[in-house]
Amino acid sequence: MKKMLLAATAIAAAVIAGSASATEFAGGALNYNVAATSDYVFRGISQTDGDPALQGGVDYSRGLFYAGAWASNVDFADYELDLYAGVKPVYKDFTFDLGVLYYNYNDDALDSTELKAAVSHPLYKGTIGAAYFYNTDVDDTEYYEINASYPLTGKLSVSGAIGEQKTGGFKYTAETLGLTYAITPVFSVDVRATDTNIPEVIKPSAARLAVTLKAAF
C-alpha cells in the first residue's frame, strides 16, 4: 500500500507542468488523483485521529459505466483500500448513480460492502443532490445525505452536505461545508469544516477543519 501511494505521488509530480487530461484505455477514459490532507474525515469521523493522510486513486469510465480504486492511510489499520463500480444513467436534467463500494483493510473483520443510490440535478449554476448507502455486511446500517455545490467564481466553489449515519440502534448527524479553489487545471486546494452531534468527548467526531491539496489528471 505504501508503494501504491508513493507511485501515485510520483505520477502527480510528473504532470506538474502539464494540463489535466484523461488517458484513453479500453475504449474509455482513465483519470488519476493524489492528495495530501491534514485530516481524513469520513462522514464526520476522523479516520486518522486528527493526523495527516496521503491518498491516491484511479478511475475508469466508459459510457454509463465507471469503476475505480482509492487508498488512504488510517489510524485503526495499516491501510484503507476502496474498490467501486456502477452506472450513471441520465434522465432529462437528473443524473443517477447506482453502484457498489467495497471497503478493504488489512483486518478482514473491518471489511464491508455498501450499495449506493444517488441523484443530482442542476440548481442555477450549481448542483443539488441526494445519496443513500446501505451496508450489506453490518445489520441495520445505512447512511443518507443531501448535498449541494455552487461555483462562486471561475476557480472558487462552495460545497456542503448534511447526512445521517445509522448503525444498529445508534445514529448521528454529520455536516460538512467547504471551499475548493482550482490553482491550476491539475491542482486544487480544499478547506473543509465538519461536525457531528456526537458528544465532543469522543475525539474523532469533534468539530474539525481539514485542508487538502489534490492533483487530478
- pLDDT tops 60 at residue 2: no
Q: Can you point out the beta strands (E) in 38-93? A: 41-42, 45-46, 53-62, 65-72, 80-87, 90-91
Give pLDDT, residue 157.
Answer: 98
* pTM confidence score: 0.89
Task: Please state the rounded mean pLDDT for residues 51-55.
Answer: 97
What are the pLDDT digits (tens) for 90-123? Answer: 999 999 999 999 999 998 889 999 999 999 999 9
C-alpha cell at 161: 452536505
2-216 to CATH, choices 3.60.15.10, 3.30.70.1150, 3.40.50.1370, 2.40.160.40: 2.40.160.40
Domain borders along the chain are 2-216
What are the pLDDT digits (tens) for 150-198? Answer: 999 999 999 999 999 999 888 999 999 999 999 999 999 999 999 999 8
DSSP string, 132-201: EEEESSSTTEEEEEEEEEEESSSSEEEEEEEEEEEETTEEEEEEEEEEEEESSSSEEEEEEEEEESS-TT
Percentage with pLDDT > 70 across the chain: 88
Distance of CA 69 to the CA centre of its chain: 11
65-72/53-62 β-pairing: antiparallel
- pLDDT tops 50 at residue 6: no
- pLDDT tops 50 at residue 18: no
What are the pLDDT digits (tens) for 57-95? Answer: 999 999 999 999 999 999 999 999 999 999 999 999 999
